[in-house]
Structure 1
């Protein structure tokens, strides 16, 4: 825009040079400061050429009004007077050039070329900033997700006021009450083999949870958590535990009935600050662990006794001698009963998942032992993820599923292999009866190969041969193992305060050793420690 009160000067300036060649278009003319100011407020100009000496609003007043209105157009001042005060005022107003009339064509072109370069660079900078801003906006959901994740996993290192300003940047409203909900789709990996299917179902669950909770008055941020969990950070104006439980139960019931999908939800305690939501998250994860004992497809509210049960010491009541006895007899009903009893003991003691898995591995060890001592072979790939049944073990989510898995293990692996051994082995019944004899009579010092052979009405040499062949151990080695395993169980059950020497004598005699010193040597040879160490 050209602003000058002299009409002929404006026209001269327009036709003095080729504006288009220099990258300019003359959009408007103004004959005074008032007209120019109105145009500047309604249009955008990259460059304004303005005369200083105009009646009414001078060029200096006009540009000062532009700056006050935050209009940052480039300015070239022109004047007929070479006055220092004019030049100083022009500089203070951010003028790009100050030219004297009559206008020198070369000076004008030099000024216009330089200003055109400045405008091009500013345009590039503006485009770059716009690109950065667009990229930041596109990445904002991912950055927001990471911000929420950090809130949940770590105690914030900044002040609550700074944390709230960061939350506002991500459009997370400040709420009086916060609580974290963790959801797990039951048997997700077992039901859906493909990761694409699992992601689809998690996405559906996230949407339903968010809709249900927002309908109940909550603000929600939903993210993917660890171990295929769905994690929901919620903010409420006000809510009680019972109201929150009802909201979660409504969502769970809807997902169960409409989607035919079983889901377990757990929530922590409510907190008043974003800086404390990591506590609620930790509590909800602790509460969700109770699913292993209590079963899935329910809502679990965090209580303080969850921590005490998690830390409780539970000693699994597995009597290896008794377990091996009923397994060797292929007594399925007795084995199932023992599995049920062990699982019920886990539930009654509210044992942790880690403790339950220890019991599970003990049962697997017993089954493997029974197979190998009878000369059987374990399935190809057993105890690795190559075997389908063993692979399923990693996905056990409740004690009930563990109970069913163990019954399947004994039926399909242990008893099937033991049954297959019967027609293949001559003398298996004799060996089986011999092991039964040992397990019943091991406490008697007089137990010998010859005595067992008389009881079974077989030749001692033949019994010795087939026993070693089918169990991998000699008769005396098998007897010693049974005696020492039983001794270990008895020593572990000794109450504190009992005399060590007297108790060792009692235990040694109860497992068939008259000489406690010989018993101690045998015990150390098998277990690497003397019996007295077990009692301490």
Structure 2
């Protein structure tokens, strides 16, 4: 603990220094001053924990110093010394920032006890501050993780009703992507080395470095897709320079990874796309660019903006594919897929690979929706990706996509035909846990999972012990409690993040379930 002694009499200062074995007791005298103004100047230049000051001094007395120090340096604790005639007056003045009042001449044990009390208080304050900072960091990281997951969702999953998607982007503070004319570009970066163990060791530093660089550029985000090992993906909103900045960011990432991590990288740059509905096209084009890289561990950049010929994958085509799977018809799926990937389409190999990737994303999304998390599923997805990237194995790709579709259909069939409905309820729970901030009704859920809404309601209550709306509110309240730990988020921000468009209604629901208003809860946990 660093201490400054302030008194206009040099002999008093010397006496105080001799009363305590400062270093032995864990304190260090880092400065002396003859009045309050000199002490304030010292506080501007060095870190100080405690100031021991006399009351009566020229230029600026101890009381005025304590007032100004409390305003400018609230973390500094002040101990005031006064003579007998001033003691009661000084002690009753209740100056903020003064932690103790001692009567002169000060007994050594009295001074030591005062210092101990202040040290304990400072240590407790620092502990609470560290805990708060840790909590804020965890909540901030959680918010960043939610942003990344939602960007991945937009790049790979079914695009939900547009209004709800735009609202969710605003809730996650991703407003830059809400414009229908937004131009974005995806690019994919892979670490490469001959040593697999080194890839594992460098994954976390690589991810942290990429995210740090992304934060330095306006409207640029970095996210991870578990289906692609040793790779990170960027989405960048283009400014008026029409993408020149994208290549600048790519160059910077490659140089930093090579300089700091001593490893090579391969980058695939996707085509420029416009609007949310084209995010999938942009993401896949970045992956396809990357797939054209040469084997080996030397750094490469493959710019896919040169090749603009890609299959037009309309929402109607996607809907037909989804319906064929959820209606448990592999025949309809193969028929629809043949219309997209069949040889009669007269499409290029690149266009075929793009369309096949879109089908693979769709099947992966459905597999996730129905909790199909098996080794067979992951192996099929990986094999299919490899076949697509080879650009010359059309029949193999179609065969592997069909096998994956059959696997998903069987999972859906098993869930719907389970004797007690437990699997379908678990699928619905997982959906609610993931999409709790969206506008969800029993009707929309029943449509999502192709099941009668009355039957779904009965099943959910039977297996979970509460109806779906109560369960959804419970999930939202638990998430709200986590977000309220971050004081940088306003109450209305928390309300939006957990699916409430009105902060007043959010506060009412929160108090009903938690017993306190959001403001009261935050004050209690962060004080």
TM-score by length of 2: 0.41
- Which one has the largest radius of gyration? 1
TM-score by length of 1: 0.40
Q: Which has the higher contact order (CA 8 A, sep 6+)?
A: 2
